[in-house]
């Protein structure tokens, strides 16, 4: 019998949730992703050390500041990853710009320009934006320009509907973080995969998109265990951390498909207004808290990355 990971790949695009070059080479995912947390991890990766030293030296010679280098280093890591995967590399716009549409668009264009200088076409890149109202509007502008976007930190149906309205290429609902919030709120140690709030959130979004012929790709993210992953087998994409890829690749058992486009049922799609979006988010304590927390944490990692590079600079 084949491994669970091999079976999962038959029905879902597996994305590596890591910037670790060694891990990407090992698991050979279709796509991969970067963010400040993953670039921080790359700083301690021996396989990336030569590239990091070269980028810092090039930045110094070009007259860049230590505060600018994290941006170029993120693209350098993404460029390296683009050489290892056949698909896309998601590259994140600074979390500090999450509530500024114009600045987010400008930063996205700068990321693409940097990739172009390194010989990476925009077709290989997904611009990653937080699923705030402003981030979603930035994605709408970029999509109209032919730049595909990955809307991240997504915790609610309101965000999913707004992303669909914007024509976003892909969304990343955060399964594990949703589950974490409900475990704490309800004082329980965990959930069966079929009752898992994070899993059910993605199932609901998937069904809504498929029932309404919405082309946006659904990519489950932020998993805490393989049970959550198996419960979403058949989802368009799943981005999975190396430790969970290890577990899936070592397990030999049957993996039934959990999600099917043809079996999706949901209410008809209705575009969401800004007022409705903000009200629905305000009414959803989990989504509001986890979105804010995620933006703060990504920004904290960006600041930490800046400090480390400044010390090495």
Question: CATH number for the domain including 72?
Answer: 3.20.20.70
pLDDT at 285: 98
pTM of the model: 0.93
Residue 128 annotated among the catalytic residues of the structure? yes
Quick: pLDDT tens for 147-191. Answer: 999 999 999 999 999 999 999 999 999 999 999 999 999 999 999
**Count of domains in the chain?**
1
CA separation for the pair 165, 114 (Å, rounded): 29
Token duo for residue 50 = 């030569």
Domain containing 210 equals 4-312
What token pair was written down for 15?
A: 């994305």
Please choose, from the candidates 119, 116, 70, the residue with its C-alpha nearest in 3D space to the C-alpha of residue 93. Answer: 70
Band (pLDDT 50/70/90 cuts) for residue 313 is low
- Could you say which of 25, 61, 117, 128 is catalytic? 128
What are the angstrom distances between the C-alpha of 160 and each of 100, 136, 172, 197, 204?
Answer: 19, 10, 9, 16, 10
| pLDDT tens for each residue of 97-149 | 999 999 999 999 999 999 999 999 999 999 999 999 999 999 999 999 999 99
H helices of 62-100, where? 69-82
Q: Could you say which DSSP state residue 132 is in?
A: S
Strand partners, 3: 252
Is-contact 115 107, C-beta < 8 A? no
Predicted pLDDT at 73: 83
């Amino acid at each position: 019998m084949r491994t669970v990971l091999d079976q999962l790949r038959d029905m879902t695009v597996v994305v590596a949730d890591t910037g670790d070059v060694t891990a990407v080479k090992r698991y050979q995912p279709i796509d991969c992703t970067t963010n400040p947390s993953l670039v921080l991890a790359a700083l301690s990766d021996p396989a990336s050390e030569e590239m990091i030293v070269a980028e810092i030296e090039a930045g110094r010679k070009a007259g860049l500041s230590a505060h600018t280098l994290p941006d170029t280093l993120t693209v350098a890591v993404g460029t390296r990853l683009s050489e290892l995967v056949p698909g896309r590399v998601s590259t994140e716009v600074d979390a500090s710009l999450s509530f500024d549409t114009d600045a987010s668009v400008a930063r996205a264009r700068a990321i693409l320009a940097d990739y172009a200088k390194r010989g990476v076409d925009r077709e290989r890149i997904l611009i990653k934006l937080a699923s705030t109202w402003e981030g979603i509007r930035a994605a709408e502008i970029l999509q109209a320009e032919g730049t595909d976007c990955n809307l991240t930190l997504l915790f609610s149906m309101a965000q999913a509907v707004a992303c669909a309205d914007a024509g976003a290429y892909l969304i990343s609902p955060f399964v594990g973080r949703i589950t974490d919030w409900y475990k704490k709120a309800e004082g329980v140690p965990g959930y069966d995969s079929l009752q898992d709030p994070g899993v059910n959130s993605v199932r609901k979004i998937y069904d809504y998109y498929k029932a309404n012929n919405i082309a946006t790709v659904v990519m489950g993210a932020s998993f805490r265990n393989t049970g959550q992953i198996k419960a979403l087998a058949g989802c368009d994409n799943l981005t999975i951390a190396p430790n969970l890829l290890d577990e899936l690749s070592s397990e030999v058992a049957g993996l039934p498909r959990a999600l099917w486009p043809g079996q999706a049922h949901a209410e008809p799609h209705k575009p969401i207004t800004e007022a409705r979006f903000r009200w629905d988010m305000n009414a959803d304590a989990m989504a509001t808290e986890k979105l804010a927390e995620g933006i703060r944490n990504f920004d904290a990692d960006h600041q930490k990355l800046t400090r480390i590079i400044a010390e090495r600079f």
